[in-house]
Amino acid sequence: MKNPDLASAPPPPYQIYPEASIPPGPMQAVPIPIPQLHFDEFPPGPIQVVCPYCYATVMTEIEHQSGTCTYFWCIGLWVVTAICCCIPFLLNSCKDRAHKCPNCHKVLGMYYRQRDCC
Ligand SMILES: [Zn+2]
């Protein structure tokens, strides 16, 4: 059963909205040069980058972390000397280096020591 009022009433006209447009102004986007470094291609020393998290131009902080090279030297020294196996954990030159943003403290990239020593 149909409602006679709805069947005879014409459909409401479509309303066309104009597309939103941004008026031209003096402000234009200026591209920021961002170093194209992959996560594991950072150099051993601190570098200047634009942080992808807080968008600040920062000089990275280095944090030394035990990695593959550290354990490699530990096992090697344990086999040879059986007592000096903890020395690689005390030497920063045997560790990986995490590049961190000094503002948001996120890890931006890594320098893996085994690229040079193993
Ligand atoms: Zn940051």
CA of 107 to the centre of ligand 1 (A): 9
pLDDT category at 33 given cuts 50, 70, 90 is low
Give me the mean pLDDT over the 27-41 stretch: 69
The pLDDT value recorded for residue 82 is 81
CA of 52 to the centre of ligand 1 (A): 7
CA of 48 to the centre of ligand 1 (A): 12
| CB hemisphere CA count around 54 (13 angstroms) | 14
The pLDDT value recorded for residue 40 is 79
Q: Which residue has the tokens 């104009």?
A: 18
Query: What stretches of 19-95 adopt beta strand conformation (E)?
Result: 48-50, 57-59, 61-65
CA of 46 to the centre of ligand 1 (A): 14
Classify residue 86 as exposed, middle or buried by CB count within 10 Å of its CB (0-12, 13-18, 19+): exposed
The pLDDT value recorded for residue 1 is 46
Q: How far is it between the farthest Cα atoms of the chain? A: 99
Give me the mean pLDDT over the 26-34 stretch: 65
